[in-house]
Amino acid sequence: MKVAHARRIAAVLLSSQYAYMLEYRAEIVLWALSGVLPFIMLGLWSAVDAGDGLGMSSLQLARYFLAAFVVRQFTIVWVMYTFEEDNLNGRLSPYLLQPLPLVWRYVAAHLSEQATRLPFVAMLVGLFFLLYPAAFWWPSVSAVLLAVLATLAAFALRFLMQFTLTMVCFWSERASALERLLYLPYLYLSGLVAPLALYPEAVRNFAFWTPFPYMIDVPARILAGEPVAVGPSFAAMAAWAAVLLPINLLLWRRGLRHYSAMGA
Amino acid sequence: MAIVRAQGLGKTYRVADKQPGLAGTLRHFVSRRERTIQAVRDVSFSIEPGEFVGFLGANGAGKTTTLKMLTGLIHPTSGTVEVAGSVPHRRQADFLGRITLVMGQKQQLIWDLPPLDSLRVNAAVYGIEPAESRRRIAELAEMLELGDELRRPVRKLSLGQRMKAELLAALLHRPAVLFLDEPTLGLDVNAQARVRSFLADYNRRFGATVLLTSHYMADITALCPRVLLIHEGRLFYDGSLETLTQRLAPCREVRLELHQPMGAEAFASYGEVEAIEGREVRLLIPRERLTEQVGRLLADLAVVDLSVSDPPIEDIIGRLFHQGALA
């Protein structure tokens, strides 16, 4: 596929998906609102005053959880649920017959959904600083750029991981249960409920052998101005992608062989 | 040279075999049983470029499974298939650009956006330049009698308008081979006629090859000089529609509404009594005697209403297979 052709497909897919997401803007706002877990955790940690004892001030905690909220908003992945529904309703078939790998439609849908929720996330961040002005900070330009890069990488890794699990939809009609199962380790090891710096050392060391900390904790700490081993973190993300990608491609090929075009 | 060629095509599915009720559910949970379904068996045929072929068969006969194998959506369990010079399930971009599949009950248009948005996506995916895609959309829209509907959200369109927009989306890349699975399903009589006339026009204008399945005999009679007949996964007939009609539906169905109810014996001299419900009677009358017998019925009996139709294709096929006429 030529670059100009790919660019045109990307532009058209993104603009049409963005138009589609705007039709569901109210639902997307509600989804964004439902992602305020980091703020709840901030309230809990502040109430027990745990941060100070473990090396993070309450201000650092507030900035971390705000950054975690922002990173979470742009790394939410729901491809498995959509794919499962499309498979059950027979909507996959027309797309499988077009000369465009199906995954790009879902990637475009996710990116468009993120663009739709962007203004609302900005409003919530503004509200946060209004209620907690002491927590306000200007991250450096390099920190912002690095955080954006880390968030994009985190999104790509999370998408790849879920899309690999999604391939189970070719064999099972309720494969999304797997994603729900995976949500627990994601919740505890990603840094959504607490910065990994506050975890016991053994748990923290274990966590960094999994892909989860790179999905929230690492980009959030970069954005919040906390020290991060940037090189090893990006290397770990690349390593996980290198493990998942061949599995994904293998399962995709096997899945297509098994595909029975349900509901069609 | 044939553009569609299937040789000994077969497809087998494994499906769960579960008894109803709680006991059946528990048994199935503990020891899951499956059985094998042979959806398509040893099907062979070929289609020349530009042919318009009807694909007939009762529900579950194997029509859609065969279409899915011809398009490459599913892999055959046995046999070989070649469409437009490619093996479909390899799904090469060149092959995908030369075929289309339209399924009456499935849609590719984005539900909440106007069809034009989906058409823009399709044009980009198939690499059709914007000016050329606008020209094609205008041409196809004119053939389909679509106008402002292309700017209205799909969810606001009637079933007929939606189907026409689906056809437009499926044909924008000007495929050489069209697989149409019940494209007129659920449409009213006028919309069916418009879709039929569009398909005939498209076939003439672009020399496209079409394989059409439909439960509406009118679709088949209007469009398909040749038909394939499939039953329980096997191909039973491949030939002209005329010969098939004579073999399958030598009779037409006459529905009468009478002034007074009458017994079956009163109709013995007119044709075969299919059913009697109160004042309503359904008769099967041989085609060659239809005019004469309808004249007699109107002259002899107190008829309030009378209509003549082809019996549903499924009934005809079912009856003939039951009688072993084609076996």
Tens digits of per-residue pLDDT, A115-168?
A: 999 999 999 999 999 998 988 988 899 999 999 999 999 999 999 999 999 999
Whether residue B236 has pLDDT greater than 90: no
**Range of A55-59, A128-132, B122-126, B189-193 with top mean pLDDT:** B122-126
CA distance to partner chain B, nearest, from residue A175 (Å): 17
Q: How confident is the model at residue B104 (pLDDT cuts 50, 70, 90)?
A: confident
Q: State the distance between the two ends of chain B, measured CA to CA, in whole angstroms.
A: 31
The tokens of A23 are what? Answer: 């039709």
Q: Which of B173, B11, B13, B178 is nearest to B81 (CA)?
A: B11
A19 touches chain B (CB under 8 A): yes
- Please identify among residues 101-130 of chain B the ones whose CB lies closer than 8 Å to any CB of chain A: 101, 103, 105-108, 110, 112-113, 117-118, 120-127
Backbone angles phi, psi at B70, to 5 degrees: -70, -30
Query: Which residue, among B126, B257, B240, B213, has the nearest Cα to A99 in the 3D structure?
Result: B126
Tell me the torsion sign for CA atoms A46, A230, A147, A181.
negative
C-beta of residue B259 within 8 angstroms of C-beta of residue B302:
yes
* Residue B168 Cα, gap to closest chain A Cα (Å): 14
What is the band of B294 on the pLDDT scale with cuts at 50, 70, 90? very high
Pair A203, A197: CB distance under 8 Å: no
Look up residue B50 and give its amino acid: G
**pLDDT score for B227:** 92
Residue B105 has pLDDT above 80, yes or no: no
Residue B312 is given by DSSP the state P
Sign of CA dihedral B313, B318, B323, B327: positive
pLDDT of residue A135: 87
What is the residue-averaged pLDDT of chain B?
88
Which of A8, A24, A264 lies closest to B124 in CB terms? A8
Report how far residue A94's alpha carbon sits from residue B105's, in angstroms, rounded to the nearest whole number.
Answer: 12
Q: In chain A, what percentage of residues exceed pLDDT 70? A: 95
Q: Testing the interface with A: which of B71, B74, B178 to mutate, by most A Cβ within 10 A?
A: B74
Chain B, nearest residue to A97 by Cα: B96
Q: Which residue of B71, B106, B124 is in closest CB contact with A12?
A: B124
The pLDDT-based confidence of A264 (bands split at 50, 70, 90) is very low
**B91 pLDDT higher than 70:** yes
User: Which residues of chain A make contact with B108, given a CB cutoff of 8 A?
Assistant: 91, 94-95
A101 touches chain B (CB under 8 A): no
- A93 in B contact zone (CB under 8 Å): yes
Contact A94 B107 (CB under 8 A): yes
What are B6-43's pLDDT values in tens digits? 999 999 988 777 777 778 777 877 777 788 889 999 99
Residue of A nearest to B123 (CA): A9
Of A5, A20, A98, the CB nearest to B96: A98
pLDDT at B191 over 50: yes
Q: Which of A98-102, B34-38, B241-245 has the lowest mean pLDDT?
A: B241-245
Q: Which residue has the higher pLDDT, B106 or B43?
A: B43
Q: What is the mean pLDDT of residues B197-218?
A: 90
- Which among A16, A18, A86 is the top mutation candidate for probing chain B, defined by the most B β-carbons within 10 Å of its own β-carbon? A16
Q: State chain A's mean pLDDT as an integer.
A: 89
pLDDT of res. B40: 95
Q: Chain B within 8 Å of A99 (Cβ-Cβ)?
A: yes
Q: Is the model's pLDDT at B325 over the cut of 60?
A: no
Chain A residue numbers with beta carbons less than 8 Å from the beta carbon of B93 are 99
Tell me if A194 sits within 8 A of A45, measured CB to CB. yes
Q: Three-state secondary structure along chain A?
A: CCHHHHHHHHHHHHHHHHHHHHHCHHHHHHHHHCCCHHHHHHHHHHHHCHHHHCCCCHHHHHHHHHHHHHHHHCCCCCHHHHHHHHHHCCCHHHHHCCCCCCHHHHHHHHHHHHHHHHHHHHHHHHHHHHHCHHHCCCCCHHHHHHHHHHHHHHHHHHHHHHHHHHHHHHCCCCCHHHHHHHHHHHHHHCCCCCCHHHCCHHHHHHHCCCCHHHHCHHHHHHHHCCCCCHHHHHHHHHHHHHHHHHHHHHHHHHHHHHCCCCCC
Classify the C-alpha dihedral B283-B285-B287-B292 as positive or negative: negative
Q: Quick check: A84 and A262 in contact, CB under 8 A?
A: no
Task: Spell A217-253 as b/e; 16+ CB within 10 A means b.
Answer: bbbbbbbbbbebeeeebbebbeebbeebeeebeebbe
Nearest residue of A to residue B122, measured between CA atoms: A98
- The whole-number pLDDT of residue B318 equals 62
B327 confidence band (pLDDT: 50, 70, 90): very low
Of A26-30, A176-180, B39-43, the poorest mean pLDDT is in A26-30
Which chain B residues are within 8 Å of A100, Cβ to Cβ?
Answer: 125
**Cβ–Cβ of B75/A100 closer than 8 Å?**
no
pLDDT, residue B312, reads 64
CA distance B153 to B150: 8
- Angle (nearest 5°) at CA A177 between A176 and A181: 120
**Does the structure show a pLDDT above 90 at B108?**
no
pLDDT for A259 beyond 90? no
Taking contacts as CB-CB distances below 8 angstroms, the residues of chain A near B127 are 5
Which residues in chain B have Cβ-Cβ distances shorter than 8 Å to A261? 68, 73-74
Task: Round to whole Å and give the CA distance between A61 and A46.
Answer: 8
| A53 interfacial to chain B (CB closer than 8 Å) | no
**Distance of CA A207 to CAs A105, A187, B290, Å?**
32, 12, 83
What is the distance between the alpha carbons of residues A147 and B131, in angstroms, rounded to a whole number? 41
Instruction: Return the structure tokens found at B36.
Output: 């094998």
Looking at beta carbons, which residues of chain A come within 8 Å of B113? 16, 19-20, 23
Q: How far apart are CA A170 and CA B136, in angstroms?
A: 36
Report pTM: 0.84
Residue A57, pLDDT > 90, answer no
Which is more confidently placed, A95 or B245? A95
Tell me the pLDDT tens digit for each residue of B124-182: 999 999 999 999 999 999 988 888 999 999 999 998 889 899 999 999 999 999 999 98
